[in-house]
Amino acid sequence: MSEKIVQTAGRDQLGEFAPMFAHLNDDVLFGEVWNEEAIDVKTKCIVTVVSLMASGITDSSLAYHLQNAKAHGVTREEIAAIITHATMYVGWPKGWAVFRLAKEVWKEDGTGENG
């Protein structure tokens, strides 16, 4: 198994206000589901991006998961193909919205729009 995924955003942002939600986010979702070994982390990143895209979630959580996908080996060419493929099933406006975020994420290292 690769490096264990640890998340503290739930406790950091909602720990006092919603401790059960923080526990489920940090310990169950990230602590157990993301660390389960049946599929690799790169695949989980792709599934997560497509799931958020299908739901119309194009806020900072999608930006985080696009960055996470890049960090786990999803290339610019792969993300472009993934978004294009998913667009055919989830809708054209969602594809455009996700491409705007993806271009920014892959631009950071010179592999964005022109690279």
pTM of the model: 0.85
Same domain, 98 and 50: yes
Q: Three-state DSSP class for 42? A: helix
The pLDDT tens digits of the residues spanning 6-22 come to 878 888 988 899 999 99
| One domain for residues 61 and 73 | yes
Residues 45 and 34 in one domain: no
Could you tell me the residue range of the domain that residue 89 belongs to?
40-115
Give 100-114 pLDDT, tens digit per residue: 999 999 996 654 444
Per-residue model confidence (pLDDT) at position 6: 83
Which residue in 4, 27, 5 sits closest to 15, CA to CA?
27
Mean pLDDT in residue range 61-72: 97
Per-residue confidence (pLDDT) for residue 113, from 0 to 100 = 47
